């Protein structure tokens, strides 16, 4: 952080398990805001740590409620903390049918989740690091597809953003 002169980083942890390690690492670091939406009945139970914001969710939360919460939180996180970098933990174990996850999101719901996160970051011009997490469906095809969605959507949104920026520059010139 020091090397890059960063004073505000936002960790967006949307894996279904609470990120207790990340929470503990940055517990006393005011430069790092940790936001975590996770399944309340999921591991870890006794070893949770406190994030800046913890949003525990009940079993079978489903797309609509999940996306509504995320849509409400994202602008608030950005305006309150003005992050210079977002670390997106894009776990896909919130997917319905996951062996561990209990939130019951559809593939389309996760896709909408990704789009919400990417759209927010692009609009605010905040760079992002995307990391994988979770995904335990059997067979694993559904988890693989959801992981693919995370990166394919990121590539698509970024290239669309570049194209729009290039058009705007050309129109302005
Ligand atoms: Zn997980």
Q: Could you tell me which CATH class the domain 9-172 is placed in?
A: alpha beta
C-alpha 81 to ligand 1 mean position (Å): 25
C-alpha 43 to ligand 1 mean position (Å): 8
State pLDDT tens for residues 66-118: 999 999 999 999 999 999 999 999 999 999 999 999 999 999 999 999 999 99
Q: Where are the domains of the chain?
A: 9-172
C-alpha 13 to ligand 1 mean position (Å): 10
**Contact predicate 146/95, CB 8 Å:** yes
- Before 80, cis peptide (omega within 30)? no
Tell me the average pLDDT across 3-7.
Answer: 91
Q: What is the DSSP letter of 44?
A: P
3-class DSSP assignment, residue 166: helix
Helix (H) / strand (E) containing 143: helix 141-172
Q: Which residues contact 90 (CB under 8 A, 6 or more apart)?
A: 14, 15, 114, 117, 130, 131, 132, 133, 150
């Amino acid at each position: 952080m020091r090397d890059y002169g960063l004073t505000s980083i936002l960790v967006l942890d949307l894996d279904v398990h609470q990120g207790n390690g990340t929470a503990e690492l940055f517990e006393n670091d005011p430069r790092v805001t940790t936001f975590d939406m996770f399944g309340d009945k999921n591991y870890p139970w006794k070893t949770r740590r406190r994030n800046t914001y913890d949003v525990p969710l009940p079993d079978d939360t489903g797309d609509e409620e999940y996306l509504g919460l995320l849509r409400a939180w994202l602008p608030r996180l950005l305006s309150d903390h003005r992050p210079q970098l977002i670390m997106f933990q894009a776990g896909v174990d919130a997917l319905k049918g996951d062996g561990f996850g209990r939130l019951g999101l559809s593939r389309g719901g996760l896709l909408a989740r990704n789009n919400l996160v990417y759209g927010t970051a692009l609009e605010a011009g905040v760079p992002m690091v995307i990391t994988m997490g979770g995904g335990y469906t059997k067979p694993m095809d559904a988890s693989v597809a959801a992981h693919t969605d995370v990166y394919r959507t990121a590539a698509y949104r970024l290239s669309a953003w570049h194209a729009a920026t290039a058009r705007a520059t050309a129109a302005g010139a």
